[in-house]
Structure 1
Amino acid sequence: MPASRLLPSDEAVDLIALVRDLATNELGPLVARAEREEEFPREVFRLLGRTGLLGLPYPEEYGGGGLPYEVYLQVLEEIGSVWASVGVGVSVHALSCFGLATAGTDEQRRRWLPAMLGGELLGAYCLSEPHAGSDPAAMTTRARRDGDEYVITGAKAWTTHGGHADFYKVMARTGDGRNDISCFLVDADSDGLFADPPEQKMGLTGSATATMRFDDVRVPADRLLGAEGDGLKIALAGLDAGRLGIAAVATGLAQGALDHAIAYARSRETFGARIIDHQGLAFVLADMEAAVESARATMLHAARLKDQGLPYGREASVAKLVATDNAMRVTTDAVQVLGGYGYTRDFPVERYMREAKVMQIFEGTNQIQRLVIGRSLDRGDAGRLARVTD
């Protein structure tokens, strides 16, 4: 039973219905084989681009959908409920466009953003390094100015779409201070840029994750986003939005697992009754439903703050923490509901369980989210009052 939704407009209702149909009928038949064979679904992203789903939260003047995050995240949720690798990919692509959309000049946005939002160009985001994951200010990748170019040297780990993207949003050090980091758009076909073999992951096997190597990669100076030294600010602002994207995909993943568990519990009989009629099993499903609904509520609360232009960093961390921890619990319970069948690849719940684990790790581990939340509470950031505006 798909999620019930309260949406802000008739257009949003129609959009969610379209996405639900596309995910079920277009993506659903492709998932099992692509994940089994670790096949990157590039054509799926082109399809999503053609249907306008890659640029939903960005301005219409650049080819985006101009939609509020409240709606965009529920689109991600619907995709994630069927194919988490693609849901994560859409979120990462949006994050890859964030620096250009928010810190680029008007000329830079006109030049590059329409092709990105239209799906012609697929993006990747290069922030983490092998020794600097949760501490991006400790990065060592450098960008040295050389006339009208920058020369980038270093390595970026855990790059989603690594080796498949058409452009990379790259954070690199341009000075010796801890925060002297700048943001660049780098073409995938740049000389000296190459990907290591993809990581062999527990889940999200249809999503390529690789270390990107920058061996004196020359980047035109007009590919700098914002001013030198703005990179960490751009990165951290983008991560708040990215955390909401992961919260949405995790909520969708949990919803998908719950839907499969309910369908199985309705059809499977033991001791002369459907297993959903046994109170012990029904209580497990009830707890799963409560976990999914609470995750959705925290995610949408943060999204509505963002849509009103209010601070939402703490709430984004809460949403990411709650949604991903709940997804891990819900998918584990879904496997338990199916019993032995849940442990086989005949049913997708074992894949959902494997995919849920990484949701607790990327876009800042859940330990980092707790750190962010705790510091926010110490500063007294909570307790704002605001009126909802049209």
Structure 2
Amino acid sequence: MISRGFCDAFLDDSHRSFREACERFAREEIFPHAQAWEEAGSFDRALYRKAAAAGLLGASYPEDYGGGGGDLFHEVVQTEALLRGGSTGVLVGLGSLGIALPPILALGDEEQKRRLIPPVLRGERVAALAVTEPGAGSDVAALTTRARRDGEAYVLEGTKLYVTSGVRADQLTVLARTGADPHGGLTFFVVEREHGYVVSRALKKTGWWASDTAEISFPEVRVPVRNRLGEEGSGFRCLMRTFVHERVFLAAIGVATAELALEESVAHARRRRAFGRPLAEHQALRHKLAAMSTQVLAAKAFAYHTTARVVRGEATPAEVAALKNFTAEAARAVCHEAVQLHGGMGYMRESLVERLSRDARLLSIGGGTTEIMNEIIAKAL
């Protein structure tokens, strides 16, 4: 594949060796079970501890809290490598800590960081982020889940929706309303399972089957003040910073999805024969593969360049929004062509490209819809 080393100039030896470790883990610990886990709708919880033991959880987190001390490129190459295990659901399930822990790291005091981060990075606890509600998605200012101070605790009331890893989570990073101001009245809390939140239901999705997704209810749940992150009203700004990293993560999934779909298509075109010769010897299909490859290269270059700008602190929200849109569309388009090239087999659940095509659909929705991204881009013009 010409995309394999296309952007390696952005990487150093630590990134390359980490990528190899992640690919080995995907090959040995994920790929043999991916089909069964997808059909079951969840993966073995022991995988968290295995990933931690292999040094794969929290690659970019400070070593003081059990992380690898790396940068955002470690997360990008990890995303690309782990998807080679054949399950986006497993990837995002293992990766839910990537959106649940940043508010703790950004707003938490030293006691909170040492209490709430290391057990997750050791694979002992599962962390999830709970922001979206039945009546509020991209419009974060419309959140209604409330946190009312009552002595040395806050009483949380409300419902959260589409919580990745919410069914099995041991702790939720919850954005709740502590004041009337649409933006300045939002505060993050870490709500632990023992505090009494309720998993109302496990949600059935089009894709990402191996990753559990939950609706969570907070029926007057008492959360100790020591689990509030930062001062009251500090949540919105922190969430906006968290969105940048989440969107880079989703872009990396888009690139990896498109790249894997392309590889599957090239292998199929060389293997499958029609009218007396391999599909790869038919010019129309060769040109289709060439166009798919061009989309993958463009998406990967965009992703790595933008990641480098994020690492240097130079990227704007509009650049990250544009990256998310571009890679989501590249994944959709390449997967569409991959299914078409596979013919009937591309429509079968035993086919990897069928799974990838379903999984790719969420990339233009999760982390901010394409339409919201376009608004961010348009405001920067």
Q: Same fold (TM over 0.5)?
A: yes
Matched, 1:355 2:356: no
Report deviation, 1:89: 2.4
Moved more, 337-346 or 169-178: 337-346
Report deviation, 1:272: 2.5
1:388 corresponds in structure 2 to none
Deviations 1:262-314 (A, max 9, x none): 11101111222211121110111111111122222222122111211224322
Matched, 1:75 2:75: no
Moved more, 237-246 or 288-297: 288-297
- Rounded to whole Å, the distance in 2 between the matches of 1:50 and 1:360 is 33
- Rounded to whole Å, the distance in 2 between the matches of 1:361 and 1:269 is 37
Report deviation, 1:247: 0.9
Q: Secondary structure at the match of 1:197?
A: strand
Q: Which runs of 4+ in 1 moved over 4 A?
A: none
Matched, 1:120 2:124: yes
Report deviation, 1:322: 0.9
2:18 corresponds in structure 1 to 15
1:152 corresponds in structure 2 to 156
- Rounded to whole Å, the distance in 2 between the matches of 1:367 and 1:249 is 19
Q: Secondary structure at the match of 2:336?
A: helix
Q: Secondary structure at the match of 1:189?
A: helix
Distance 1:314 1:41, change over 3 A: farther
Q: 1:187 aligns with which of 192, 197, 203?
A: 192
Judge conservation of contact 2:129–2:173 (CA < 8 Å) in 1.
Answer: yes
Q: 1:369 aligns with which of 355, 373, 379?
A: 373
Q: Secondary structure at the match of 2:96?
A: helix
Report deviation, 1:244: 0.7
Matched, 1:332 2:336: yes
The one-letter code sitting in structure 1 at the alignment partner of 2:191 is: V
Deviations 1:20-70 (A, max 9, x none): 121122211111111112134322222212222120111111111111212
Report deviation, 1:130: 0.5
- Rounded to whole Å, the distance in 2 between the matches of 1:278 and 1:212 is 52
2:60 corresponds in structure 1 to 57
- Rounded to whole Å, the distance in 2 between the matches of 1:65 and 1:293 is 29
The one-letter code sitting in structure 2 at the alignment partner of 1:269 is: R
Report deviation, 1:197: 1.9
Matched, 1:303 2:307: yes
Aligned ranges for residues 1-390 of structure 1 at < 5 Å? Answer: 1=1, 3-4=4-5, 5-6=7-8, 8-81=11-84, 82-179=86-183, 180-191=185-196, 193-377=197-381
- Rounded to whole Å, the distance in 1 between the matches of 2:45 and 2:61 is 22
Q: Secondary structure at the match of 2:270?
A: helix
- Could you tell me the percent identity over the aligned residues? 34
1:383 corresponds in structure 2 to none
- Rounded to whole Å, the distance in 1 between the matches of 2:194 and 2:254 is 33
Report deviation, 1:12: 1.8
Judge conservation of contact 2:42–2:210 (CA < 8 Å) in 1.
Answer: yes
Distance 1:91 1:246, change over 3 A: farther
Deviations 1:104-127 (A, max 9, x none): 112221222211222222111111
Aligned CA RMSD, in angstroms, stands at: 1.5
Judge conservation of contact 2:201–2:216 (CA < 8 Å) in 1.
Answer: no
Which consecutive unaligned segments of at least 5 residues does structure 2 have? none
- Rounded to whole Å, the distance in 2 between the matches of 1:102 and 1:211 is 26
